[in-house]
Structure 1
């Protein structure tokens, strides 16, 4: 296990029910994009340490859909959504639903920006339908999963 030197910034917008996550990686936008779109890579880094991820369905293309399940100590948490726009190395727009709260659908946008030196800045925004929903999303422990997940992604990217 390695410790990341990169900061994950998570900001709740005061004017709209949106969370913005920004993180830089020592890898190209194409490599970071690939880790978000190929299920065999995704299961190696998504979520906090200690959770196991299983992909039940994955059709990562504009108009496609996905479903994955994370488990720990016999508990399972399922997530699903639809891909609205997938542009390789550049952008993913998708919906995101935790099946335990099926009425709380987020619209997510992930932009992969090329930085000097073959690096990437990933900016993710999650828009939900209310400030209460956004605050519940943030209070759910999302920060731990995002920070640890991106640390794990650093490890996957470093391994090639």
Structure 2
């Protein structure tokens, strides 16, 4: 399956991927810490933090550690949680002081073949911040992470 990243509008980034698992399973993999720990991030790093309070107003924090000890941590707040359909949340890269949060909407749509079309639509504070993230290797990281999620879903 192909993970596609597009920038259809100013400040916007859309990531799409179809998974060979029903929406309820993809939702579970994305919203239960024991599953997130298995697929989150990139394989070269160690997942060290997966905290989730899955409710509107609840906080989340996911992070990894590099072999040199560098921490890469993202956190935010859930704005809206519609089980098996949609997650709306803010996302902040903690290692970037003063950064404004990104607003993300994830949708879990059933496909005719029993799979899930996962769409992540993010609205960035500026085109510059979005483009900096892409230039820093975000696309390769997202592709690897979604591949890891696909592998995890196959074994659930």
Shorter-chain TM range is over 0.9
Matches within 5 A, 1:102-117: 102=97, 103-117=99-113
SS of 2:125's partner is coil
Between 79-88 and 101-110, report the one with greater CA deviation. 101-110
1:61 aligns with 2:55: yes
When the two structures are aligned, how many residues end up with a matched partner? Answer: 154
Structure 2: gaps spanning 5 or more residues: none
Distance 2:74 2:37 in 1: 13
Counterpart position of 1:90: 85
- Give 1:68 shift: 2.1
| CA RMSD in angstroms, aligned pairs only | 1.2
Distance 1:88 1:52 in 2: 28
1:71 aligns with 2:65: yes
SS of 2:137's partner is helix
CA 1:56–1:30: 2 relative to 1, 3 Å: closer
Distance 1:55 1:62 in 2: 20
- Give 1:154 shift: 1.0
Deviating above 3 A after TM superposition, structure 1's stretches of 4 or more consecutive aligned residues are none
TM-score, normalization: structure 2? 0.94
Distance 2:80 2:41 in 1: 23
Structure 1: gaps spanning 5 or more residues: 1-5
1:22 aligns with 2:16: yes
